[in-house]
Amino acid sequence: MCRYIFVTGGVVSSLGKGVCAASIAALLQARGYRINLKKLDPYLNVDPGTMSPYQHGEVFVTSDGVEADLDLGYYERFTDIPASKHDTITSGKIYERLIGKERAGVYLGGTVQIIPHLTNLINDFIRFGENKVDFIICEIGGTVGDIEALPYLEAIRQIKYILGSTNTLCIHLTLLPYIATARELKTKPTQHSVKELRSIGIQPDLIICRSDREIPDALLDKIALACSVPKHSVVAAVDQKTIYHVPLSYYKQNVEKQIITYFGLRHTDKINLDKWHLIERRIMAHEKNVRVAIVGKYNQLQDAYKSLSEAFLHAGIHYKCKVHLIWINADEIGNQLYKKLDAVDGIMIPGGFGIRGIEGKIKAIAYARKNKIPLFGICLGMQLMAIEFARNVLGIKDASSTEFTNDCANVIDLMINWYNGEKKETRTRRSNLGGTMRLGNYESFLINGSKIKEIYKLESIVERHRHRFEFNINYKDVFEKAGMGIGGVSANGILVEAIELNEHPWFIGVQFHPEYTSRPFRPHPLFVSFIGTLIAQNKTFHL
């Protein structure tokens, strides 16, 4: 029988509900339970695919091609269970589904309402797949009190009513702010947040209190009394050095034991936390240091590159190496840019959309190519590597992408006709932006003799994609003759998946997003190879 754990948040957003849910899942998984993690986002966008990274942070892509909240990345990295379209929902998708049913006459002329029609659809989403797992852990986005979150909170109240308290558990994550002038942590925001949750009909069973410092027992006692939960069910979530320390922090406070006991399940001391102990040791055992410049356009919000920064951390764990990420604004194009690039060991050009910052990224690529600085390009990064090479090596001065202008030698072009499985899809520049990209897993064949094949040690790979534009295959021969090799192609041989510069220490661009599938206990081979090259060059930066 499946049990349900609901994770809500209060006081402020960005408290780390995703890491909280993923950490609990990891602990239950370590005890041998089958887990499914789901995210319910209250915003009205159908998905985050057209939202600004400044608004929402990174867009994570599932293997089956869904643009999702970055919390699904935490779920995958902590549990190594691939997320799917059944694990993410937004109010936009729910309302779209509801209106579609109403237009089709499913409700037989009845008045369509939030309760029960919308909440029934939410409950159907939550309970999908319950016969395959022991626990479904559902994270509700936003904070208690947000008007758009009310249907989701009502839905989980209904599930608790239908299935009973013995089969559902509610975890509430709150903040204990420190008031510097009073020199004390304050519990009142947590009390008010729980009061708001209880007014909706939900009593939290476990309260996890975020804080930037140790929480006195007296305050935990106070929260327990005010919020009607046992003292042992108030958990101190003090800031950790990295997110990968959180599972062991919860374990030391018996969080998963409390959950198992709450559900009346058989309790044993059998738990396998070996990989988490290993990660904890290796994160803290820095024997080397390297500096990597991220030349990006959304640097003001580093959550915009969350999977990327995590993938570098994973590679660093592999080598017991501290990877210092140096964030460089892609709008910088003068001498200041070159001074910053000259002080790093390697350069990363990440993905993105739109023309802003393009020339700065191209200048960084040219600098890396000429000065033999290892460079790694992902998605747009690979495309700009191709454009820079076309302009400065092949002499095609107007080389560019039709994403930026139609008046160019289109080294990078829009995919007009392509196949999604057996289905042919056609798009134009006027097509809707949402859901019209090449999304999710696609197979690529690696070229014999290429560096990328040497790194993967495989004939073919499957990686996740998120893009609308492609390298123009008509330039393939002229690129190869000039020294820019094609490292990988799509299964049908039409699309270029990787390029690499010969006679360079490490200069590889890939059309896919390898950062999505990197794990702390299994770092992605491209990131491992890139960081390994930086270490081997003996140009490491020592603290």
Just list the catalytic residues: 379, 513, 515
Residue pair 187/222 in contact by the 8 Å Cβ criterion: yes
Cα distances (angstroms) measured from residue 292 to each of 319, 335, 340, 362, 384: 15, 19, 11, 17, 18
d(CA 141, CA 39) in angstroms, rounded, equals: 7
**Biggest CA pair distance of the chain:** 74
Q: DSSP code of 458? A: S
Q: Give CA torsion, residues 513, 515, 516, 518, to 10 deg.
A: 140
Q: Which residues pair with 409 in a beta bridge?
A: 399
Cα distances (angstroms) measured from residue 68 to each of 19, 34, 315, 446: 16, 22, 24, 28
b or e along 173-186 (b: 16 or more beta carbons within 10 Å of the residue's beta carbon)? bbbbbeeeeeeebe
Could you write out the three-class secondary structure of 251-313? Answer: HHCCHHHHHHHHCCCCCCCCCCCHHHHHHHHHHHCCCEEEEEEEEECCCCCHHHHHHHHHHHH
Q: Which strand (E) or helix (H) includes residue 18?
A: helix 17-30
Cα distances (angstroms) measured from residue 513 to each of 378, 439, 462, 465, 517: 6, 10, 11, 6, 8
Residue pair 54/301 in contact by the 8 Å Cβ criterion: yes
Residue pair 530/319 in contact by the 8 Å Cβ criterion: no
Residue pair 521/404 in contact by the 8 Å Cβ criterion: no
